[in-house]
Amino acid sequence: MEKKFSYAKCDPAWRVSPLNLSDIPNTSISELLIDPVKRWPEKTALVCLGREMSYREVNDLSNRLASGLIATFGIKKGDRVATMMPNCIQHTVSYFGINKTGAISAPINVMYRERELEYQLNDSGAETIIALNSFYHLIEKVKGKTRLRNIILTSLEDFAASDAYIPPLYVTRKNHVEGTYDFVKFLDNAPPMAPEIEIDGNHDLSLLLYTAGTTGISKGVMEAHKLCWAVVRSLVAAVWPTQNDVNLQIMPMFHTSGYNLAQLPLLSAGGTVILVPLFDAKECLEQIVKYKVSMVFAPPTFYVALMNYPEIGNYDLKNIRISLACGAPTPAPVIERWRHMTGLTLTDGLGLTETHCASTISGGTVNTPARQKIGTIGYPVGEAKIVNNDGDIIPIGETGELMFKFIGDFARGYWNKPEETKKAWEEDGWFHTGDAAYMDDDSFFYFVDRYKDLIIASGYNVAPTEIEGVIMKHPAVKEVAVVGVADAYRGETIKAFISLRDDYKGKIGKQEIIDFCQDEMATFKVPRIVEFIEEIPKNAVGKLMRRALR
């Protein structure tokens, strides 16, 4: 019998609608709004905190923002404009507005602390930021250490219903801050005319999304406009959203899924996106019912939280037709429980920040209503293969490294990091995911483990070396090693093994380490478990043996 090898390419029959690569636009992704504005100008595009906004309004406000950015700050093509906001109407308006100027949108994780914010602003070189006013205290601290000159502030109340419940985390008194601009006034003072900017979709960038690398250095992943279009067209062909679909967007807009999976494909189809600034089980369930949500893309922890809500039985979830888990592997018990409670299959997929979720020209895997297999991460959206350490494709059923094929001449790689780019992407376009997987006879892929040491906690990528670098700042710490350990709720939780200096032994507690980390980094990076040990295990060349610790 002839041996079959672990290579697969998406079969057109696996899609629910046709996809022709030659039809992918080479224009600005902001033109995605043109068709729905013409066809459904008054249809609700976005909902957030009780405020409904039509396609016409989104287009008008993003035009105003674009013309204002150019007239007030001289923003030009290729400039980076940072955003620091949770999911909200302002964030979507900002994304399209920034892209209409030809500038690059560089969203920042809203959980970042001063050190992380300073690094990303400096790495991107952003001179302008649009942010929620509750983050101004952080921005103010780092402004003098960066190239930041222009600050536009907004509050969630600016685009919320008068009786909306605003999460306390984001409630601040709205006072004018000297040297900053108010978002609403900025829009009011700008003409609603879209600037005419010529975009080369292959090479001009739409997004600069940051992800944690295994070296602990956060890397900006470049996303060209054409790649954005490819993701949109690929996912529309795979799951076929329509103007009747309503998506509950819990995935944050500083995450690749926030744009590419949850929002852009729905808007391109004329659907409605419910933007969730901060997760609350009751609020989400009420919105699912009120707006007849039909599509949900969220990390496994979202589904676990909903199912554990005591009154979930009082909510009718019958309108949901697609529920996809993303950002982290989904435990089998979660899939089974969700199916038992809702009758829906909770499917999995695999997309990285580097593959911009998943597309025909950048790779990724997905389970769809038309073709799925429980327990897998799906079939390839483009091309995929499993290779051994020598780069050779291995037989079906054997475990090796999963790789995706990038097709076409468009901008890709890490911002200002050519050596890192060269390591990740081979000259022929194949991308190293660093994930161990295997393929079956039906071209479905199974996730096994990560070759990289990256931890995925609640859907967020966390680099152990970054956390180790912070913990090592504590005077009591001699050595530290951080690993991810299985967690039924978060997928993985972060554990720090610490060897103390002799003069601190017995004098410091685990909570002190955790508190120290809380002040230095985003909450999702903070170790939940700390264990003091005498020595950190190492191999013969002195490298930490994380596998032994796991």
Per-residue pLDDT of the chain (550 residues; tens, 9 = 90+): 567 999 999 998 888 777 777 789 999 999 999 999 999 999 999 999 999 999 999 999 999 999 999 999 999 999 999 999 999 999 999 999 999 999 999 999 998 999 999 999 999 999 999 999 999 999 999 999 999 999 999 999 999 999 998 988 898 877 788 999 999 999 999 998 888 999 999 999 999 999 854 345 789 999 999 999 999 999 888 888 999 999 999 999 998 889 888 899 999 999 999 999 999 999 999 999 999 999 999 988 888 889 889 999 999 999 999 999 887 777 777 888 899 999 998 888 888 899 998 888 899 999 887 888 988 999 999 999 999 989 999 999 998 999 999 998 888 899 999 999 999 999 999 999 988 889 999 999 998 876 667 788 888 878 787 888 889 889 999 888 899 998 888 888 999 999 898 889 999 999 999 999 999 899 999 999 999 999 888 754 445 777 788 7
DSSP secondary structure string for all residues of 399-446: -EEEEEE--SS---SBTT-HHHHHHHB-TTSEEEEEEEEEE-TTS-EE
End-to-end CA distance of the chain: 40
Q: Is 120 left (phi over 0), alpha (psi -120 to 50) or beta?
A: alpha
476's tokens: 């009591």
DSSP state, residue 260: H
Measured distance CA(327)–CA(457) in Å, rounded: 9
Q: Which two tokens stand for residue 287?
A: 């919105």
What CATH code would you report for 53-198? 3.40.50.980
Q: Which residues pair with 324 in a beta bridge?
A: 297, 347
Q: At what angle do helices 510-518 and 464-471 cross, to 10 degrees?
A: 110
Sign of CA dihedral 344, 346, 347, 351: positive
Q: In CATH, which of 3.40.190.10, 1.10.10.10, 3.30.70.100, 3.30.300.30 is domain 455-549?
A: 3.30.300.30
Helix (H, G, I), strand (E, B) or coil at 105: strand
Domain ranges of the chain: 53-198, 455-549
